[in-house]
Homo-oligomer: A and B are copies of this chain.
Amino acid sequence: MNLVKELSMFAPLTPRVSEILSWYKGENLGVLNNLARLLNSGSLAGTGKLVILPVDQGFEHGPVRSFGPNPAAFDPRYHFELAMESGCNAYAAPFGQLAASAGDFIGRIPVIVKINNSDSLFSNAAPISAVTCSIKDCVKLGATAVGFTIYPGSNARKEMYEEVRELGEEARSYGLPMIVWSYARGEQISKEGETAIDVIAYSAHIAAQLGAHVVKVKPPTAHIEQAAAKKAYEQAGISVATLADRVRNVVQSTFNGRRVVIFSGGESKGDEQLLSEVKEIHAGGGFGSIMGRNAFQRSRADGLKLLRGVISTFGGN
């Protein structure tokens, strides 16, 4: 069933994984171990690239919008299987969904608990997610890392950043790395601005500033939202013409590549378009993809094919 070509057990870290871990000096060995576990599992093991299957859309957009297109995906075990068969590095989901399935997959793929979540039954002018499980709950679930969402641009940013900081500190004390989903939105950001290159680069930077070990953003467009930023991009001669250019700028903006930045697939699209985006992410030095809807809203065969295409683009096999 498993087509993944694997890293030899007890093999030394690859030079690339060692290099990546060297960016996290000062973290305890528990955090480093778990970062290594993420980087050493699945088809991309050892390459320093990460492809993660995230399934929090049930919570974020509602179950039918999320799983209706592929009803097998209503079952929380489906996603564990999809992530493992495709050779992803890890599977990410909210607490309840994991509580209803992780016991059937003991000792297998690394699990990331998405510990704060929003729903679409209320749309807040000052968006902020609710913390829906404790760090101790994650430890007891056997998690390898924890994930948080922040909304830079929200009027609630102070509460949100402080929450993430505090939970992140607790997580690190248990050896759990923190992955931050950074999605700009708020009253002063236009819809188009949410994926503008300046805003995405800035959002990734903020996540890293809050202590994220891994940062997740959307693929940026060539739009530049803020006038002051526009001037700066022009003066610096930073090209934002291709997605690869823009990914390069986001990676640069995240401590010049000393933090792992991965990119979402965004709204559902055709395979070709997605894989062409992923090629540009790879070309721009992106560390990987996090692909949910595009993976689990297809049939199992098509979802597997897509994820394997993505993984293969990043050098997995």
Contact = CB atoms under 8 A, between A and B. Distances in A.
Interface of A: 2, 4, 6-13, 17, 21, 23-37, 39-42, 45, 58-59, 61-65, 67-69, 71, 74-76, 84-85, 87, 94-97, 99-104, 106-109, 117, 119-124, 128-134, 136-137, 139-143, 152-155, 157-158, 160-162, 165-166, 169, 173-175, 184, 186-189, 198-199, 201-203, 205-206, 208-212, 226, 228-229, 232-233, 235-236, 238, 249, 252-256, 258-259
Q: Which of A128, A129, A130, A211 counts the most chain B CB atoms within 10 A? A: A130
B29 A142 contact: yes
B255 A74 contact: yes
What's the number of copies of this chain in the assembled complex?
5
A213 B24 CA distance: 21
B249 A64 contact: yes
A208 B158 contact: no
B141 A30 contact: yes
Given A29-B141, A32-B26, A64-B198, A58 B136 contact: no
Contacts of A232: 62, 64-65, 68-69
A58 B233 contact: no
